[in-house]
Amino acid sequence: MSKTVGIIGLGLLGGSLALALKAYTDYEVVGYARRQEICDMALADKAVSKAWTNVDDVIRESDIVVFALPPETNAKFFAEKAHLFTSGQIVTDVSSAKDDFVASVYQHIPDGVIFVSTHPMAGSEKGGYEVVTKDLFQKMGWIVLDDPEASCYDAAVADELANMGQSIGSRIERVQMKDHDAFLAMVSHMPHLMASIMTVVVGGDELGEFRMRLSAGGFRDSTRTAGGLPSMWKEIIFGNRKNVLQSLELMEQEVNHVRQLLARDDDGAAIEEYLGRAKQIRERLPYLTGQVNDANLE
């Protein structure tokens, strides 16, 4: 008999996960959304077999419960609803920053309930159920966080959640819980802030609108994430602010280094070498070089 996955939050990640699990696995999927119209849309799309605006029903019906709301909201929800979980149930999440939610889980999780965190490295600057897709996770990273010292961690469940990610087309990465937020500050949260900073510098004064009309694909691609939902990104970035601040310090050091290169009287040789090094590093990204294929989704 297949297990039931209950997804708390049917936005871009939660809704897309529901569609993907229904399309590519034999899991039964149920869901929670704050608004009835979102529940109705998910039911109409057959993303879920049942949907409620009461999260209690999702917890009671599910073998695996996925918290797919922003991190701070997930943490508050779990603290309020932890008493509903029973021994043998599995709790996971898809949060981009872990500290708040994990602290709440470790404080409130009942005995016998299993917790293994995940982080699908997929998304868009757009949000909401209206933009969900069953193929959001195809060839994207699916991080499973290992924390064997935690009493609620279970290695077999971690493997099961890795298999879940693989079954919907993701490539699997295993990361220690203690390292996750620092890594994500570097590859996601600090870059989001940098996109916002570039947008404000270019477009934030009286000449900004005209400057942005002159921009092309480079500016558009570099600032795409600045179009994300501010309330959600506030929870992610501020919740991980210690690591984000450290990442910004590294960025400041690199900007100062580039300033020194530009100040050299060498006909631009140093800056060309720097740009070449950056190009080589970026070309190692597997989803840019085509290295992600079926053999890499393990």
Domain borders along the chain are 4-178, 182-289
Cα 141 to Cα 14, 154, 167, distances in angstroms: 16, 21, 13
Supply 51's token pair.
Answer: 């949907």
Look at residue 284 in the predicted model and tell me its pLDDT.
87
Look at residue 163 in the predicted model and tell me its pLDDT.
97
Look at residue 287 in the predicted model and tell me its pLDDT.
61
Cα-Cα-Cα-Cα torsion 196, 197, 203, 204, nearest 10 degrees, comes to: 110
Tell me: pLDDT of 148 over 70: yes
CATH for 182-289, among 1.20.1250.20, 1.20.120.550, 1.10.3720.10, 1.10.3660.10? 1.10.3660.10
What residues form DSSP beta bridges with 121? Answer: 141
Backbone phi, psi, residue 246, to 5°: -65, -40
Tens digit of pLDDT for each residue in 158-177? 999 999 999 999 999 999 99
Residues 6+ apart with CB under 8 A from 287: 139, 140
Which of 190, 255, 195 is closest to 221 using CA atoms? 195
Tens digit of pLDDT for each residue in 26-72? 999 999 999 999 999 999 999 999 999 999 999 999 999 999 998 88
pLDDT classification of 235: cutoffs 50, 70, 90: confident
User: What b-and-e string marks burial along 250-273, b requiring 16 or more CB atoms within 10 Å of the CB?
Assistant: ebeeeeeeeeebeeeeeeeeeeee
pLDDT classification of 286: cutoffs 50, 70, 90: low
Tell me: pLDDT of 275 over 70: yes
Cα 102 to Cα 92, 108, 140, 188, distances in angstroms: 10, 10, 23, 19
Look at residue 87 in the predicted model and tell me its pLDDT.
97
- Domain 4-178 annotated CATH 3.40.50.720: yes
Question: Mean of the per-residue pLDDT values for the chain?
Answer: 91
Tell me: pLDDT of 22 over 50: yes
Cα atoms in the 13 Å half-sphere on the side-chain side of 119 = 25
Which of 256, 286, 248 is closest to 274 using CA atoms? 256
Look at residue 81 in the predicted model and tell me its pLDDT.
96
Quote the CA–CA distance of 189 and 251 in Å, as a whole number: 13
Look at residue 130 in the predicted model and tell me its pLDDT.
83
Residue 184: helix, strand or coil by DSSP?
Answer: helix
Cα atoms in the 13 Å half-sphere on the side-chain side of 73 = 17
Tens digit of pLDDT for each residue in 91-134? 999 988 898 899 999 999 999 999 999 999 887 666 788 888 99
Supply 195's token pair.
Answer: 């996109």
Supply 5's token pair.
Answer: 């996955």
> Whole-model pTM?
0.84
Tell me: pLDDT of 135 over 90: yes
Residue 115: helix, strand or coil by DSSP?
Answer: strand
In this structure, what DSSP letter does residue 223 have?
A: T
Look at residue 97 in the predicted model and tell me its pLDDT.
87
Look at residue 25 in the predicted model and tell me its pLDDT.
96
